[in-house]
Protein backbone atom coordinates (compact mmCIF):
# COMPACT_ATOMS: atom_id res chain seq x y z
CA UNK A 1 0.00 0.00 0.00
CA UNK A 2 1.38 3.44 -0.90
CA UNK A 3 2.55 5.64 1.96
CA UNK A 4 0.49 8.44 0.41
CA UNK A 5 -2.61 6.45 1.33
CA UNK A 6 -2.67 8.01 4.79
CA UNK A 7 -3.54 11.47 3.50
CA UNK A 8 -4.72 10.73 -0.02
CA UNK A 9 -7.76 8.89 1.35
CA UNK A 10 -8.58 11.93 3.47
CA UNK A 11 -10.20 14.52 1.15
CA UNK A 12 -9.21 17.50 3.32
CA UNK A 13 -6.95 18.04 6.30
CA UNK A 14 -7.95 20.76 8.74
CA UNK A 15 -5.25 23.09 10.03
CA UNK A 16 -6.13 25.29 12.98
CA UNK A 17 -3.51 28.02 13.32
CA UNK A 18 -1.61 29.65 10.47
CA UNK A 19 1.36 31.27 12.12
CA UNK A 20 4.95 30.57 11.12
CA UNK A 21 4.74 26.87 11.94
CA UNK A 22 1.24 26.47 10.52
CA UNK A 23 2.51 27.85 7.23
CA UNK A 24 5.45 25.42 7.34
CA UNK A 25 3.02 22.53 7.84
CA UNK A 26 0.85 23.66 4.93
CA UNK A 27 3.85 24.08 2.65
CA UNK A 28 4.91 20.45 3.13
CA UNK A 29 1.51 18.75 3.28
CA UNK A 30 -0.22 20.47 0.36
CA UNK A 31 1.42 18.13 -2.13
CA UNK A 32 -0.34 15.19 -0.45
CA UNK A 33 -3.81 16.52 0.41
CA UNK A 34 -6.01 19.59 0.32
CA UNK A 35 -5.72 21.76 3.41
CA UNK A 36 -8.44 23.87 4.97
CA UNK A 37 -7.02 26.52 7.27
CA UNK A 38 -8.65 28.39 10.11
CA UNK A 39 -6.95 31.17 12.02
CA UNK A 40 -8.84 33.94 13.84
CA UNK A 41 -6.42 36.45 12.31
CA UNK A 42 -7.21 35.15 8.82
CA UNK A 43 -10.53 36.41 7.40
CA UNK A 44 -12.68 33.72 5.84
CA UNK A 45 -12.29 33.69 2.09
CA UNK A 46 -8.73 35.01 2.23
CA UNK A 47 -6.80 33.96 -0.83
CA UNK A 48 -3.83 31.97 0.47
CA UNK A 49 -1.02 31.95 -2.10
CA UNK A 50 -0.41 28.20 -1.79
CA UNK A 51 -1.94 25.75 -4.22
CA UNK A 52 -4.21 23.31 -2.40
CA UNK A 53 -4.56 25.49 0.70
CA UNK A 54 -7.76 27.42 1.39
CA UNK A 55 -9.07 29.51 4.26
CA UNK A 56 -12.29 28.40 5.93
CA UNK A 57 -14.31 28.71 9.09
CA UNK A 58 -13.47 26.97 12.34
CA UNK A 59 -16.30 24.53 11.72
CA UNK A 60 -14.98 23.70 8.24
CA UNK A 61 -11.43 23.08 9.47
CA UNK A 62 -12.49 21.14 12.57
CA UNK A 63 -14.88 18.84 10.71
CA UNK A 64 -12.10 17.32 8.57
CA UNK A 65 -11.05 13.69 9.14
CA UNK A 66 -7.59 14.90 10.25
CA UNK A 67 -7.28 18.07 12.33
CA UNK A 68 -3.86 19.56 13.11
CA UNK A 69 -3.67 22.06 15.96
CA UNK A 70 -0.83 24.51 15.25
CA UNK A 71 -1.57 26.93 18.06
CA UNK A 72 0.52 28.03 21.07
CA UNK A 73 0.29 25.66 24.02
CA UNK A 74 -1.22 28.50 26.04
CA UNK A 75 -4.12 28.63 23.56
CA UNK A 76 -4.59 24.87 23.23
CA UNK A 77 -7.30 24.37 25.85
CA UNK A 78 -9.45 27.16 24.42
CA UNK A 79 -8.90 25.82 20.90
CA UNK A 80 -9.79 22.25 21.84
CA UNK A 81 -13.02 23.38 23.45
CA UNK A 82 -13.85 25.46 20.37
CA UNK A 83 -13.37 22.61 17.89
CA UNK A 84 -15.07 19.96 20.03
CA UNK A 85 -18.62 20.42 18.64
CA UNK A 86 -17.45 20.03 15.04
CA UNK A 87 -15.24 16.95 15.26
CA UNK A 88 -16.46 13.96 13.27
CA UNK A 89 -16.40 10.39 14.58
CA UNK A 90 -12.96 8.74 14.41
CA UNK A 91 -11.28 12.01 13.42
CA UNK A 92 -7.56 12.13 14.13
CA UNK A 93 -6.52 15.18 16.19
CA UNK A 94 -2.83 16.05 16.26
CA UNK A 95 -1.02 18.84 18.08
CA UNK A 96 2.48 20.14 17.35
CA UNK A 97 3.40 21.83 20.64
CA UNK A 98 6.92 22.14 22.04
CA UNK A 99 5.90 20.41 25.28
CA UNK A 100 3.81 17.31 25.58
CA UNK A 101 2.60 16.57 29.14
CA UNK A 102 0.30 19.60 29.30
CA UNK A 103 -1.15 19.25 25.75
CA UNK A 104 -1.68 15.49 26.25
CA UNK A 105 -3.65 16.12 29.44
CA UNK A 106 -5.75 18.86 27.82
CA UNK A 107 -6.58 16.83 24.72
CA UNK A 108 -7.41 13.63 26.59
CA UNK A 109 -9.64 15.48 29.05
CA UNK A 110 -11.37 17.87 26.67
CA UNK A 111 -11.74 16.01 23.37
CA UNK A 112 -14.73 13.67 22.89
CA UNK A 113 -14.22 9.94 23.28
CA UNK A 114 -15.02 9.26 19.62
CA UNK A 115 -11.85 10.92 18.25
CA UNK A 116 -8.31 9.58 18.02
CA UNK A 117 -5.47 11.62 19.51
CA UNK A 118 -1.76 11.77 18.75
CA UNK A 119 0.54 14.32 20.37
CA UNK A 120 3.56 15.30 18.29
CA UNK A 121 6.51 17.62 18.49
CA UNK A 122 8.36 18.39 15.25
CA UNK A 123 11.92 18.93 16.49
CA UNK A 124 12.54 21.67 13.95
CA UNK A 125 11.12 25.05 13.03
CA UNK A 126 10.95 27.48 10.11
CA UNK A 127 14.60 28.46 10.58
CA UNK A 128 16.14 25.00 10.92
CA UNK A 129 13.85 23.61 8.18
CA UNK A 130 14.37 26.40 5.66
CA UNK A 131 16.18 23.93 3.35
CA UNK A 132 13.55 21.20 3.80
CA UNK A 133 12.26 18.88 6.51
CA UNK A 134 13.66 15.54 5.28
CA UNK A 135 16.06 14.11 7.86
CA UNK A 136 14.66 16.15 10.72
CA UNK A 137 13.17 14.49 13.80
CA UNK A 138 9.63 14.41 15.09
CA UNK A 139 8.47 13.02 18.42
CA UNK A 140 5.19 11.09 18.24
CA UNK A 141 3.10 10.17 21.29
CA UNK A 142 0.01 8.04 20.51
CA UNK A 143 -2.59 8.87 23.16
CA UNK A 144 -5.97 7.45 22.26
CA UNK A 145 -7.63 5.20 19.69
CA UNK A 146 -4.65 4.50 17.46
CA UNK A 147 -1.15 3.10 17.43
CA UNK A 148 -0.28 5.73 14.83
CA UNK A 149 1.25 3.15 12.48
CA UNK A 150 -0.02 4.71 9.25
CA UNK A 151 0.83 8.20 10.46
CA UNK A 152 4.35 7.09 11.34
CA UNK A 153 4.79 5.42 7.93
CA UNK A 154 3.67 8.61 6.19
CA UNK A 155 6.01 10.77 8.27
CA UNK A 156 8.96 8.46 7.67
CA UNK A 157 8.59 7.33 4.08
CA UNK A 158 6.76 10.20 2.42
CA UNK A 159 8.04 13.22 4.34
CA UNK A 160 11.43 11.70 5.17
CA UNK A 161 11.24 12.51 8.87
CA UNK A 162 13.01 10.56 11.61
CA UNK A 163 10.21 9.46 13.93
CA UNK A 164 10.79 9.01 17.66
CA UNK A 165 7.95 7.11 19.34
CA UNK A 166 7.78 8.18 22.96
CA UNK A 167 5.50 9.24 25.80
CA UNK A 168 4.66 12.81 26.85
CA UNK A 169 6.55 12.41 30.13
CA UNK A 170 9.68 10.94 28.52
CA UNK A 171 9.58 13.66 25.86
CA UNK A 172 9.41 16.48 28.38
CA UNK A 173 12.22 15.02 30.49
CA UNK A 174 14.62 15.08 27.54
CA UNK A 175 13.30 18.30 25.99
CA UNK A 176 13.77 20.20 29.26
CA UNK A 177 17.50 19.83 28.70
CA UNK A 178 17.75 19.75 24.90
CA UNK A 179 15.45 22.70 24.26
CA UNK A 180 15.69 24.45 27.60
CA UNK A 181 19.46 24.82 27.53
CA UNK A 182 19.50 25.82 23.85
CA UNK A 183 17.05 28.68 24.44
CA UNK A 184 18.77 29.68 27.69
CA UNK A 185 22.20 29.90 26.05
CA UNK A 186 20.71 31.67 23.05
CA UNK A 187 19.23 34.37 25.26
CA UNK A 188 22.61 34.87 26.93
CA UNK A 189 24.49 35.08 23.61
CA UNK A 190 21.96 37.49 22.14
CA UNK A 191 22.29 39.64 25.25
CA UNK A 192 26.08 39.77 24.75
CA UNK A 193 25.87 41.07 21.17
CA UNK A 194 27.70 42.33 19.20
CA UNK A 195 29.66 39.11 19.00
CA UNK A 196 32.99 38.74 17.16
CA UNK A 197 32.61 37.88 13.50
CA UNK A 198 36.21 37.71 12.20
CA UNK A 199 38.31 36.04 14.89
CA UNK A 200 36.24 33.02 15.84
CA UNK A 201 36.53 29.27 16.23
CA UNK A 202 34.52 26.45 14.72
CA UNK A 203 32.95 25.68 18.10
CA UNK A 204 31.94 29.33 18.56
CA UNK A 205 30.39 29.38 15.10
CA UNK A 206 28.28 26.37 16.07
CA UNK A 207 27.14 28.15 19.23
CA UNK A 208 26.21 31.25 17.30
CA UNK A 209 24.39 29.20 14.64
CA UNK A 210 22.42 27.37 17.34
CA UNK A 211 21.38 30.67 18.88
CA UNK A 212 20.38 31.96 15.47
CA UNK A 213 18.02 29.03 14.91
CA UNK A 214 15.88 29.93 17.92
CA UNK A 215 16.35 33.66 18.44
CA UNK A 216 13.33 34.51 16.28
CA UNK A 217 11.01 31.93 17.82
CA UNK A 218 7.71 33.39 18.96
CA UNK A 219 7.61 34.38 22.65
CA UNK A 220 4.93 31.72 23.15
CA UNK A 221 7.43 29.03 22.14
CA UNK A 222 9.98 30.14 24.73
CA UNK A 223 7.26 30.42 27.37
CA UNK A 224 6.14 26.85 26.72
CA UNK A 225 9.68 25.48 26.84
CA UNK A 226 10.73 27.43 29.93
CA UNK A 227 7.54 27.38 31.98
CA UNK A 228 5.08 24.73 30.75
CA UNK A 229 7.51 21.82 30.70
CA UNK A 230 7.29 20.34 34.23
CA UNK A 231 11.01 19.48 34.20
CA UNK A 232 12.43 22.80 32.95
CA UNK A 233 12.82 24.53 36.30
CA UNK A 234 14.97 21.71 37.70
CA UNK A 235 17.23 21.79 34.62
CA UNK A 236 17.49 25.58 34.86
CA UNK A 237 18.34 25.43 38.58
CA UNK A 238 21.07 22.87 37.93
CA UNK A 239 22.50 24.97 35.09
CA UNK A 240 22.78 28.10 37.25
CA UNK A 241 24.19 26.12 40.18
CA UNK A 242 26.97 24.76 37.97
CA UNK A 243 27.52 28.22 36.46
CA UNK A 244 27.98 29.66 39.97
CA UNK A 245 30.41 26.85 40.77
CA UNK A 246 32.44 27.68 37.64
CA UNK A 247 32.36 31.37 38.59
CA UNK A 248 33.66 30.54 42.06
CA UNK A 249 36.46 28.44 40.55
CA UNK A 250 37.46 31.32 38.27
CA UNK A 251 37.48 33.75 41.20
CA UNK A 252 39.60 31.37 43.30
CA UNK A 253 42.17 31.11 40.50
CA UNK A 254 42.90 34.82 40.92
CA UNK A 255 43.57 37.48 38.27
CA UNK A 256 45.63 36.73 35.18
CA UNK A 257 49.37 37.42 35.62
pLDDT tens by residue, 91-145: 999 999 999 999 999 999 999 999 999 999 999 988 889 899 999 999 999 999 9
Interaxial angle between packed helices 168-191 and 101-110, expressed in degrees from 0 to 180 and rounded to the nearest 10: 130
How do the domains of the chain map onto residue ranges?
5-166, 171-252
pLDDT, mean of residues 194-216: 92
In this model, does residue 1 exceed pLDDT 60?
A: no
Paired residues of 138 in beta bridges = 122, 163
pLDDT for the residue numbered 257: 64
In this model, does residue 6 exceed pLDDT 70?
A: no
Please give the model's pTM, rounded to 2 decimal places: 0.89
Higher pLDDT, 21 or 5: 21
In this model, does residue 11 exceed pLDDT 90?
A: no
Q: Cα angle at 228 between 111 and 232, to 5 degrees?
A: 140
In this model, does residue 10 exceed pLDDT 60?
A: no
In this model, does residue 20 exceed pLDDT 80?
A: yes
Sheet holding 12-16, edge to edge: 53-55, 34-38, 12-16, 66-69, 92-95, 116-122, 137-144, 162-165
pLDDT tens for each residue of 233-254: 999 999 999 999 999 999 998 7
- Residue 30: which of 39, 38, 22 has the closest Cα? 22
Q: Cα angle at 99 between 9 and 119, to 5 degrees?
A: 25
In this model, does residue 2 exceed pLDDT 60?
A: no
Q: What percent of the chain has pLDDT over 90?
A: 82
pLDDT category, 4, cuts 50, 70, 90? low
d(CA 75, CA 136): 26
CATH of domain 5-166: 3.40.50.720
Amino acid sequence: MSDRWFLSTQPVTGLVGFGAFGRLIAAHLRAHCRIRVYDPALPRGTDIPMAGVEAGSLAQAASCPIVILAVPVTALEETVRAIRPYLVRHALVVDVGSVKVVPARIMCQELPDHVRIVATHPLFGPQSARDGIAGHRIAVCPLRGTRAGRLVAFLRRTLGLRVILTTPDAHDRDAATAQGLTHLLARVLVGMEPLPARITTRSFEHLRAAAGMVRHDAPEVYHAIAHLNPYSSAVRDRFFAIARQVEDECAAAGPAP
